[in-house]
Chains A and B, each alone.
Chain A
Amino acid sequence: MRRDALSATLTAVLGHWRRHPMQIFALIAGLALATALWSGVQALNAEARSSYARAAGLLGQDQFDRILRADGRPMDSAVFRALRQSGYLVSPVIEGRLGSGPNALRLLGIDPLTLPVPALPKTLQNGTLNVNDFLLEGRVLISEATLARGLPPDLTPIVANKLTAAALDPNLATGLVIGDVATIAGFLNHDGATAFIVAEQQPFGLPPIADWTKQREDVILQHAEASGDLARLTDSFHLNLTAFGFLAFAVGLFITHATIGLAFEQRRATVRTLRALGVPLRPLMLLLAVELGLLALLAGGLGLVFGYGLAASLLPEVSASLRGLYGADIDSRLGFDPVWAVTALAMSFGGALIAGASALWRVAHLPILQSATPNAWGRASAELRRLQGGSGAALLCIALGVALFGQGLILGFVGLAALLLGSALILPRFLAALLGLIAKHIQNRINGAYLHWVFADMRLSLPALSLSLMALLLALSTNIGVSTMVGSFRETFTGWLDQRLAAEMYLTTATPEQAAAVTEFLEPRVAAILPFALIETRYGELPAQLHGLMDHATYRDHWPFLEAADQAWSRMAAGEGVVINEQLARRDGYRLGDVFAVAPYVTLPILGIYSDYGNPEGQAIIGLSLFQGLFPETPILRFGLRTDPSHVTELAAEITRATGLSPQSMINQTAVKDISLRVFEQTFQVTYALNALTLGVAGFAIFTSLLTLSDMRLVQIAPIWAAGQRRRILAGTEMVRILIFALFCCILALPVGMALAYFLLAIINVEAFGWRLPMSVFPADLLKLGGLALCAAGMSALWPAWRLARLSPHRLLGLFAHER
């Protein structure tokens, strides 16, 4: 092609955008939004994952087996000595927490002399910190972020000095301090090792280390994969986020697809003319493809910026959520990963390609001599619509199958995806059927040509609007599903807190002596003192706590059992049985009446299973006297107090004055509830934010569709105007039309959203967290959502309608001259 011909072709092709600036805006905005939501979520996930990887990989928790004491208590060095003298390569680890409040530190003591090199902090591996300093001088490692957020207030001066003189290691998770095992033993003021890490390669000719641990009752060998609990739990959270991200991307693609399709169709006349003038097909195709590529690049770049902004603004919430849910600390600062940026751009290109492929294909197969029929745009063939409806129905069947028989996290999400996509695909048929019904109804009952026209016109414009309406449906369903889940969670959780935290005050003492002093002081001052003891242990694969509680009306009347034998609490307190939490029951398949081993050689019948929301660990409760018999060395340091709620603050101050117990060691029940609810609210902040964004994107999709449609619809509207209908009425009709569509979407979104909630609560939640939430419906929330959706739809129709109302009669008349 000659240069001037090329330039003329280029001018002709690109001229379209100059005439339709709104289209190019919609195209770029749609793709940018899709990329932004997708890449933002990916950035969040990547950041959180790398944080866990840092925390877990550091100790090689994902690589190395560990030896623990069966009862979960710290181990003395005799076990270590015995293991090493049997020839096994194991290395001690001391873990603990230091300080109180939000800046409390997680301490990790390691032995660089015996720890397998891959498990050593990178700073030590690469010599950034001299091993001598670490080993002999007691220099510890900390991340800058930990120092920046501040140290806990109640550290001893020696520890505080050590921490401020610590070496910085950017790879450490926030809140984590790593030191030599002796240094950390000093910080924690106890020398018991939490675990012994087992080196992967053991010396020549030794029997497997499992043979050694099997011979001892007091220790257990925990395999590397079993310690991935944290990763598995947080994975579900990320899967959740990813699903939202993908949904958002899909909604964005709907917009892009619609806009590109429209733009190409509108240029059919130009393309046809260019081809008729002798422009070869290949350069023309190439030109259009390059144009698409450049648009994708621009939109992708913008999306990247938005995505990064989105991730950066949501990261604090995500880290708060994960900390609240799982105790997993992640940095609340976002790093920039080039791989992430490239992936996001690739998604943008891929999206543009998917959205533009059919349009390009149609240009390639354009019959040059056929007249351009722009009003035929988007009118999918009846066959295609049948196909769409058929696949939608099939997907819904899959979703139903999963809901009835499915198990497992991945399958849960598969069902969820099938539900959403299936509903979106059958939406056009649903709307067409609904409109058909109404039209029939009107035809029979009401005489009014205009009304008949309105409904006929709505059916006609359905194919053009269907993509953006699908987006609205998806956004609405997600909103309904997630808000139902959040609402159910909140309701259950607050109710449970009321039952579970029945005592007005909780306090933790440091030593048995202090415990004695405090109880002596409290005896005459409160209605009841409820002591409880606990030890950390493991049941099967699940980290767990065993509690010892006494019999008291507080528990008898309030303890939230899911199922329980008769007189469960009293019998349990009398030592006749055990009650366990739902997590433990579900994980290991326990049922009421089963026999449960609370400790080696001590089995008891299960008298009750109770709900224990938000706790990732297993929990079992036995009577306090039985507990003391089994674990005579475990002191009782925690107490619940029953007293007048209005005196709690005063009482706390008195206890501190009289016994020196620090205020941090006492928790006001109201405060506990407050903290718990706050944690929970934060957990769903991210979900809320993504929901709102999705709804916004869907509104934008409708807006752009209407905007691009508005010119084309003039062909349909002009005859009605010519027949005497006023422009204001016509514009009002446009609004109503959209509102009706939105309302229909709401109607379909209701069952879809409920089904979504079912998937989240009854399948995904159980798989991810180990407990099932009872589902509650909140009609007020649903009404509010419906109102919001109608608002979004109405607002998106406002400008196109306003333009119609202001359209000059000259333009409408011109239509007859130009198009007909």
Chain B
Amino acid sequence: MNAKLAFLLCLTLFVQPAFAQGFAGMGQAVDGFAEVDRSRALVFPQDHSAHPEYRIEWWYLTANLRDESGRDLGVQWTVFRNATRPNATRPVNGPEETWDDGQIWLGHAAVTWADRHMHAERYARGGTGQAGADLEDNRLRVWMDDWQLQSLDIGPEADSLAQISLTARGTDFAYDLTLAAKGPLVLHGDAGFSVKSEDDQTSYYFSQPFFAVEGTITLPDGAHQVRGRAWLDREWSSQPLAADQEGWDWVSLHFDTGEKLMGFALRSTNGSRFTSATWIAADGTPTAFGNGALHMTPIDTHEVAGRNVPVEWNLQLPARDLDITITALNPDAWMAGSIPYWEGPIHATGSHRAEGYLEMTGY
């Protein structure tokens, strides 16, 4: 997905010095980290787990759910990994390593419905085991405290994401969901090699957009049984954002036809945009669309946290006769953590009907 990653890099506390020195500094800071290589094919199940030699990485899951009363709910579950220094510069085994292995982890979780948006943020340092990602045979486990994304009982041949459980807990919500993949993994860009700018910014990027979900969301008013669809994004890179890119708008859509769309637009300070999209057929076959194919136009903005955020958009992909209007379920879905951004469930009308998730950063 999304260049969110890059944006996070600009804003998070981990790279503030780079930000302060201007984005040119980022290129230098990349020295020593592994670089994204077009010729390297993704390998599973290994690529489900962490890639500590790259600077940043995330497991990013969004779900569109409905509870027993018919209420629409959105769920977000994200774990970010940030390397604070390349492997080469790490200290030799000292007592420091217990508390600092050169990785810092960040977790975001949220539950959103029309009336409310609840979110939680966690940080963890690598080395303590407070957060991490590991793979045992084909069984994946990604965790941050008691927030877990974990392969369930799957056969030895199955993909790690074939069936997973997902848990998180904030100060006013908790959820426990079971997800079953009803389709294949989808590789974006060129077999997972995703281009983020006209320069060299690239990442590895794949998704599992075919999850069927059921489980429980517990809110202060009690437990609610939910069912619905979910989308998992996996991305890692060492230099995902160009110096002049200030933010992005990213969208994932589940069409009623069973088809899906991933699209993003990276906004530059000079007003230009870099767009990218993947049209996913109902059987999972992806078609990548490069810069310029997707048009994303804001229609209406909403003031949240003192900023004007476009919560209604027109989306056009002429190559697929797509012309839709997307609207936020809750325009106040602001993730007011240490790196604030907008992330919430949406629905689409027009040439196609869909539900999905919208993410907007840099506002």
A residues adjacent to B (C-beta < 8 A): 76-78, 80-81, 84-87, 89, 92, 109, 111, 113-114, 130-132, 135-136, 180-183, 185-186, 188-191, 201, 203-206
Contacts and interface: CB of A to CB of B under 8 A. Distances in A.
B314 interface: no
B170 interface: yes
B170 A203 contact: yes
Given A113-B123, A182-B100, A204-B171, A189 B146 contact: no
Contacts, number: 101
Contacts of A185: 94-96, 98-99
Given A85-B143, A87-B169, A201-B171, A77 B98 contact: yes
Contacts of B146: 84-87, 203
A130 to B, nearest CB: 6
Nearest to B167: A87
Contacts of B236: none
B17 interface: yes
Contact of A113 (B125, B169, B174): B125
Given A87-B146, A136-B84, A205 B169 contact: yes
B24 interface: no
B96 to A, nearest CB: 4
Contact of B96 (A77, A87, A130, A186): A186
B16 A130 contact: yes
Contacts of B127: 77, 182
Interface in B176-231: 218, 220
Interface string B154-180: 000000000000000111111000000
A355 B347 CA distance: 80
A80 B94 contact: no
Contacts of A188: 95
Interface of B: 13-14, 16-17, 84-85, 94-100, 104, 120, 123-125, 127-130, 143, 145-146, 169-174, 218, 220
6 contacts: A80-B129, A85-B143, A111-B99, A136-B85, A181-B99, A204-B220
Contacts of A109: 99
B166 to A, nearest CB: 15
A131 B20 CA distance: 14
Nearest to B131: A84
Given A87-B145, A92-B99, A204 B17 contact: no
A92 B100 CA distance: 13
A77 B174 contact: no
A183 B130 CA distance: 18
Nearest to B173: A204
Contacts of A78: 129
B169 A77 contact: no
Nearest to B220: A204
Nearest to B104: A113
Nearest to B130: A84
A111 B125 contact: yes
Contact of B98 (A84, A114, A191, A204): A191
A188 B99 CA distance: 13
B95 A136 contact: no
A426 to B, nearest CB: 63
A452 to B, nearest CB: 88
A191 B172 contact: no
B169 A206 contact: yes
Given A78-B129, A183-B96, 16 more contacts: A87-B169, A109-B99, A113-B104, A113-B123, A113-B124, A114-B130, A131-B16, A186-B94, A191-B95, A191-B99, A201-B171, A203-B120, A203-B169, A204-B170, A204-B218, A205-B218
A204 B169 contact: yes
Contact of B99 (A85, A182, A189): A182
A461 to B, nearest CB: 75
Nearest to A82: B129
Contacts of B143: 85
Contacts of A87: 145-146, 169
Contacts of A201: 171
B56 to A, nearest CB: 15
Contacts of A180: 99-100
A81 B95 contact: no
B169 A132 contact: no
A136 B14 contact: yes
Contacts of A111: 99, 125
A87 B170 CA distance: 10
Contacts of B123: 113-114
A190 B95 CA distance: 5
Given A113-B125, A182-B96, A186-B96, A204 B13 contact: no
- A76, A111, A131: most-surrounded residue (chain B CB, <10 A): A111
Contacts of A86: 146
A76 B95 CA distance: 11
Nearest to B13: A131
A816 to B, nearest CB: 91
Nearest to A115: B123
A80 B130 contact: yes
A86 B147 CA distance: 9
Contacts of A191: 95-99
A132 B99 contact: no
Contacts of B170: 203-204
A136 B17 CA distance: 11
Contact of B128 (A80, A131, A135, A206): A80
Contacts of B173: 204
